[in-house]
Every structure is written in C-alpha cells, then in structure tokens.
A and B are shown apart, each in its own frame.
Chain A
Amino acid sequence: DTEVTQTPKHLVMGMTNKKSLKCEQHMGHRAMYWYKQKAKKPPELMFVYSYEKLSINESVPSRFSPECPNSSLLNLHLHALQPEDSALYLCASSLLPRTASSSYNSPLHFGNGTRLTVT
C-alpha cells in the first residue's frame, strides 16, 4: 500500500464542472508535488509546495489551482477543463525540499493517482 493517498481514483467531469483532487500523506514530508502523466509517458511536473508554500508553478493554466491547507494535505482544484487535460494526475511527497545546500533531491513517494477524463 502506498503511503500517499489520493482520492478519487477515477473522475469523469464535463468541461463546465468544478471538481477537486485530494492528496494526503502522514510521513512528515515537507515537500509535496502535483504531476500530470499521459499514457506511456513520464510524469510532467505541475506544482511544488515546500513547507506549505508554492515554490514552483510550471506555467500551468489557471484552470488548475493548487492548494496546500497543511503539511499533510494537498488539493488540486479543477475548473473549465479541456478534453486534452484528461490524464493520470499523480501526487508525490518527499522528506525535504531541495535547497541550494542540499546534495541532491530526496526520493519521491507517489500516490496511485487520479485517472481524470474530461468529456
């Protein structure tokens, strides 16, 4: 069982809907991530939260809105999505964010993802 829990596992939404993806970890990790993955492709980074603050936004369209209410929770709010946004959305966490003084990035712990279909 993964230690990063994502809900829901599957989501079908219309282009006018508003929905949210949720992610939870209780490992005490202080960095959390949202990735988007298309079939047979590597994960693409969307957002990084370090100590509950947004530290990286990879030029993601505003129809995706992340939120980190506390150190254990990460949400991704969805509004007015397009069919091409259909993908597997993965949440991940790592022990500590990478800083200039870190030797290397902490390994990522991924959830099993939310399979999103936009109709």
Chain B
Amino acid sequence: TQLLEQSPQFLSIQEGENLTVYCNSSSVFSSLQWYRQEPGEGPVLLVTVVTGGEVKKLKRLTFQFGDARKDSSLHITAAQPGDTGLYLCAGSPQGGSEKLVFGKGTKLTVNP
C-alpha cells in the first residue's frame, strides 16, 4: 500500500509569514495533486505536478515535485488570511489504480 505522509498536521501563523508543507513517501507516484479545502466546501484543485523536479507557481504558492517523484512541497510566501484552509496532497499510484492516495492534510490558519 502506498502512503503519503503530510506535515505539519496543523499550522497557525501570522499574516505575512512564509510556510512550507511537505508530502513524503517511500513510493514513487506518477503525479502529485494539491488541493485546498475551505470550511463548508469541497476540496479544490490547486495544481498537478507530473515530472520529477518540476516546479510550478501559482501567485504566492510554489509547488515542487521531488526528483525521484516520491515527495512534494508547497511553499506559501507572505501568507494571507485568505490562505486559511485544509491543504491536501494526493498521489497517483503507479500501476493504473483509479484510487488517489491522500495525505492526512495540513490545517493552516493565517491570523490577521
């Protein structure tokens, strides 16, 4: 069974600070997706990374896929209260499974 370890589980920071969320595994994934879920809503896709070493930027968010495709990180610069939410990484297993592997999530709170 492929697992994704996500850390930290909880993060509470002040507006303007930087942060990084990690998603690690001992297994190789075909791709990694990052989602953000706000209270009362379903998760929304932020990005998909596919190639080892790939870096994608979405405004103040930077996503990286590890060279070996076993890990990924999400870095937020100058966090804002609107970034508050549950961040989930989800991996596409090798072998064609229809089931995404989700990390346990990072609950981020950005205080004004």
Interface residue ranges, A against B (CB under 8 Å)? 2, 4, 31, 40-43, 45, 48, 50, 55-56, 58, 90, 92, 97-105, 107-113
Contacts and interface: CB of A to CB of B under 8 A. Distances in A.
Contact of B31 (A2, A31, A92, A104): A104
Given A4-B42, A112-B41, A107 B48 contact: yes
B42 A55 contact: no
A31 B90 CA distance: 17
A8 B23 CA distance: 34
A41 B90 CA distance: 13
Contact of A107 (B30, B45, B88, B104): B45
A36 to B, nearest CB: 12
A41 B98 contact: no
Contacts of A45: 99-100
A43 B98 contact: no
A104 B92 contact: yes
B98 A97 contact: yes
A56 B42 contact: no
A29 to B, nearest CB: 13
Contacts of B64: none
Contacts of B40: 112
